[in-house]
Every structure is written in structure tokens, then in C-alpha cells.
Structure 1
Amino acid sequence: MASRDNDSTPVPPSARKDLTVKQQREARRAEKVAALKKQQAKEKRNRTIGITVGAVAAVAVLGLVITSVVTSGRPDEPIAGVQTFDDLTATHVDGTVDYAQTPPAGGDHNAAWLNCGIYEQPVPNENAVHSLEHGAVWVTYDADALSTGDIEALREAVPETYSVLSPFDGLPSPVVISAWGAQLELDGVDDPRMDDFIDEFWQSPDAPEPGAACVQGVDAPGRIA
């Protein structure tokens, strides 16, 4: 489940033929995290030792490699129904924020991010949006519109890392999946567009801080995993 952020170990391509479809998706997602963390570590070393212009060029090459990894699993065609939002601010604020989307898909947020995981109760928008800033996806559902089996299916469907699952009051559809600057209203738990959205926007480089921590933040009431 989403609380195991540090368990993302890339699977060698040669071993993937023996994996299930879900395991193959998780392997691709693990590659994203590994590539992004490698990039961040390299940039930190560069700042520490005052790297030269030649090393900056190497970082640019690495960026191209990472872009290739990130986009390799994306669907070829645009995902029907996805809404995108540009020019979102990302200022740390106190108190509540009046977001333009339901649920929020980015914007100003609390300085503490929400620990990624599965929640049985609604979570604070301002903390969840901070997790979106770190590249997480947030799957929200109308608890009154779904059965117990539907909710369990969602728990199995969300990525094991960098994801938040929680009920949300007043949704425009039974399930809504959000990332930083992107959102999709789903017809239900078996809507195939959810996997497409995750492939496209999970740990997206369009998030302000992809790969930043999704643990060691704050828990909300009702966390079960």
C-alpha cells in the first residue's frame, strides 16, 4: 500500500514477463522514483562541490533520460475527460484554503504534507495538496455511492507508493483522481481511465517537487495503511 514509499525497487526488464499487469505497472512506477531520486542526488552533489559548466550539461542529458523513463508508460492518446490547470501557486499558508476544484488539484497548501496511504475518513485538503506537490496522486471517492467491495477494489488499484486514497464529501462523480494540475472524474472503480491517469501523472515532472518525501509528514484521522 501507499505507506511503503521506501520499498520501491526497480524490477529488471528481463524479469517482467513473469509479472502480473499490476506488478508491471508498479515496476514502471518504481523506475520513475529511482530515476528522480538519482537526479536529485546528483544535483545535490553538484551544488556541494561547485560543479562546472560541463557537469551542468551532463545533468541536462540526465534530464532527457529521465523524461524518457517518465513518459515511456504513458498512453499514446490523450485521456478522455482529463482537466488540467495551469499557473497554480504553491505557497505555504496557515488555515484553510478556498480551492477552485473539488477536490483540489494543486495550489497553496499547508507546510506539512500528508503521509501517503489509505484513509477511511476525509483528509485535510491543505495537507493532501502538499502531497500532490511531491508527485502523489490523490484518489477520492463518494462513500455513499460505493459498496464495501468497490472501496476494497480501489485500495487494491492505487499505487503502493506516492498515493492517497480517502473519501470526500460532495464529489461530482463516484471517484475522482487528482494530481498536481490535473484531474479526472471517473465513472466508477472499474473505469479503465484510472490506470491511464496514473501512468500519465503519477510522479509527473510537472509537479513542483516530484520525488520529495511522501512519508514523515502528518497523518490524518482514519489512516489504515
Structure 2
Amino acid sequence: MPSGSDNRGARSSAKSAKAIKAANKSSGGARKGGLPKQRQIPWLTIGAAVAVIALIALLAVNLVPKYQNKAEADKYAPSASNPDPSTSIEGVVKIDYPAALHVSSSQRVAYDQTPPFGGPHDATWATCTGVVYPNAIRTENAVHSLEHGAVWIAYNPDKVSDADRQALADRVDGKSYMLMSPYPGMDSPIAVQSWGHQLKVDSADDPRINQFVAALRLNNFGAYPEKGASCSTIPGAFDPDNPPAFDPTPPGPGAVSMDGKGLTPDTSESGAGAGAGLPMAPQPAPGS
């Protein structure tokens, strides 16, 4: 017959077994073989979440600044109540020039600005359908493009980095009524021109460049003379793949003055400008 001490030991063992069983239940039980269950880390889910977050961050970094720049530039869109928003852009130089004074392909003009942004010019305009010219082009042709409502971005190849040059090209490439070319010897790294307006800046990320373009490209409130004129190539007159070359030498005493004196009758024009008989290119919205 069991003694009292044996009964107490049996009861203690039973309590211990119950305690172990309860502990196993609270911890999710034991795996086969006596090892506790381990929680699996959802690496695929975590990886997918990280990828989505990275994509959102990448889009934000690339798109948000563009939307911000566009919104800022839109503030400078011309209107009947504000026909020339460039007057509020710091550093813009404005000069009134007579229009439709044309020189021949062999004549040069004694321009009063470098680069020029108005005055007598070649009877043929430089193609300004978003062309990025790799080499400097004849100044007199580029000035005519401004008369048609284009914006010309010129840069000094000795003062502009490759990154800045590419950033400028991205603004121009394929965009109607814009052109870009190097301009050797310029006193600033970058100069932006429209007819009668100029802005010189040191860096391609200067926000005033976008403001200038928004204010003056195809500004139909009097900012350029030849409304509706084309920027397309004139077949047989100007080849954008082989344009007339830039002449870095001084114009010389025989150059046409800024007031147009010295022009022969057949190179002076008071109407719509050379190419007026050509089909006019469709006019895109200024913000396009």
C-alpha cells in the first residue's frame, strides 16, 4: 500500500505534466520530434513591398520636379492682360528692332548684341522645328527664326559642361519653334533669345530659362513680328543637316548696319517676310 509521501509525489508529477501540457498549448504546441514551431518570414511579400516603395520614390524624384517646373513656367504664359510676362523675369534685356529687313546670303550684319536677337537678317530662316545643331550656324539665319516666334538657345562650348549641354538639348529637341546651337566666343555660358528679348545665364538648371520660353515662344501678343510664319525647312534654301556656317570674324566695314542702311531694294521687305508665299505650319499651343 502506497505511503502518504508516494501519493504526494504522484500528485506533484501530475501537476507538472499538466503545467507542461498547458505551456505547450500556449506556445502553439510542439512540432513532431519535440522541436517548437518557428514562424516563417514572408520574404517574397517584403521584397515586393520594398520594390513598390522604390518605384514610387523613383517616380516622385523624376516626375515631381518636372510638374513643379511646368507649373512654375505656366505662371509666365502670355495673355491679353499680361502680353509680355518676360518683363518680370530678372535679367531679361529688351530692345525694339525693326522687322523684315533682309540681307542676301553673302552679306553680313554689324549686330549690336552677342548673340543678336533682332535687326536685319538673312532672307532665309534657320529651321527651328526643335533642331539641336551640333555646330555653330550662320547668325543671320538664326535671327530670322526669331522673327517667326522661335526661341534660340545658344551656348558657349568652352563654358558649358556636357551635362548642361544635354539638359539644354532636352529642352529643345523636337519642340516646335525652338532651335539650339553653339555660339563660340560668347561672354556667358548660355544665352536665350527671342525677337527683341535676351536672357543670359550661367547654368542650364536656371529656372529663368523655362520662364523665358513660356513667356516668349510663339507669344502672339506682339512679341514677334511675323505671326503664323513657318519654322519648317525651306527646301533648296536651308539644309539643317548642312547649314550655313558661323563666321567668327568681325563683320567689317561693309556690313549692313542695324538700321538697315545699305540694303539693296530686293533684300528689304516690309510685308510678311520671306517665305510668306509658303504654306504656314500649324501653330501649336505655346505650352506644347
Contact kept in structure 1, 2:233 and 2:240, CA below 8 Å = no
Question: Secondary structure of the equivalent of 1:200?
Answer: helix
Superposed CA deviations along residues 25-81 of structure 1, whole A, max 9, x for unmatched, are: 8xx7xxx9xxxxxxxxxxxxxxxxxxxxxxxxxxxxxxxxx9449959x47x71001
Contact 2:177 2:231 in 1 (8 A): yes
Q: How far did 1:206 drift?
A: 1.8
Match of 2:93 in 1: 83
For 1:51, the equivalent position in structure 2 comes to none
- Check whether the contact 2:132–2:181 (CA below 8 A) recurs between aligned residues: yes
TM-score, normalised to structure 1, is: 0.65
Deviations 1:111-161 (A, max 9, x none): 111101110100111111110000000000011112222111111123711
The one-letter amino acid paired with 1:80 is E
Maintained 8 Å contact 1:119/1:222:
no
CA RMSD of aligned residues (A): 3.0
Q: Which of 188, 201, 217 matches 1:173?
A: 188
Give 1:215's aligned amino acid.
S
Residue of structure 1 equivalent to 2:124: 112
Shift of 1:87: 3.5
Runs of at least 5 residues in structure 1 that lack an aligned partner in the other structure? 1-19, 33-65
The CA distance in 2 between the partners of 1:70 and 1:155, in whole Å, is 29
Q: Spell out the pairing of 1:52-63 with structure 2 (5 A cutoff).
A: none
8 Å Cα contact 1:123/1:220 also seen in 2:
no
The amino acid that maps onto 1:153 is A
- Larger helix proportion, structure 1 or 2? 1
Residue 157 of structure 1 aligns with which residue? Answer: 171
The answer as to whether partners of 1:172 and 1:185 remain within 8 angstroms in 2 is: no
Q: Give 1:24 shift.
A: 5.7
- The whole-number CA distance in structure 1 between the counterparts of 2:166 and 2:67 is 18
SS at match of 1:144: coil
Give secondary structure in 2 for the equivalent of 1:121: coil
2:102 matches 1:92: yes
Question: Does 2:223 match 1:206?
Answer: yes
Question: Could you tell me which amino acid in structure 1 is paired with residue 239 of structure 2?
Answer: D
Aligned-pair identity in percent equals: 38
Matched, 1:191 2:206: yes
Number of positions where the alignment pairs a residue of Structure 1 with one of Structure 2: 167
Counterpart secondary structure, 1:139:
strand
1:98 is matched by which residue type in structure 2? A
| Secondary structure class of the residue paired with 1:129 | helix
1:127-146 maps to which residues of 2 (within 5 A)? 127-146=141-160
Q: Is residue 103 of structure 1 aligned with residue 94 of structure 2?
A: no
Q: How does 1:21-100 map to 2 (within 5 A)?
A: 21=67, 67-68=79-80, 71=83, 74=85, 78-94=88-104, 95-100=107-112
Q: TM-score, normalised by structure 2?
A: 0.51
Larger Rg: 2
Contact 2:118 2:146 in 1 (8 A): yes
2: CA distance between counterparts of 1:101 and 1:71? 24
Whether contact under 8 Å (1:141, 1:171) holds in the other structure is yes
Give distance in 2, aligned partners of 1:157 and 1:70: 24
Go from structure 1 to structure 2 and tell me whether the alpha carbon gap of 1:22 and 1:98 turns closer, same or farther (over 3 Å shift): farther
- CA drift of 1:90 comes to 2.9
Asked if the contact 1:139–1:165 (Cα under 8 Å) also holds between the matched residues in 2, the reply is yes
The CA distance in 1 between the partners of 2:152 and 2:192, in whole Å, is 6
Q: Equivalent residue of 1:170, what SS?
A: coil
Higher relative contact order (CA 8 A, sep 6+): 1
Which stretches of structure 1, 4 residues or longer, exceed 2 Å deviation after superposition? Answer: 20-25, 66-72, 87-90, 219-223
**Residues 153 and 78 (structure 1 numbering): CA distance in 2 closer, same or farther, change over 3 Å?**
same
Change (3 A) 1:189 1:100: same
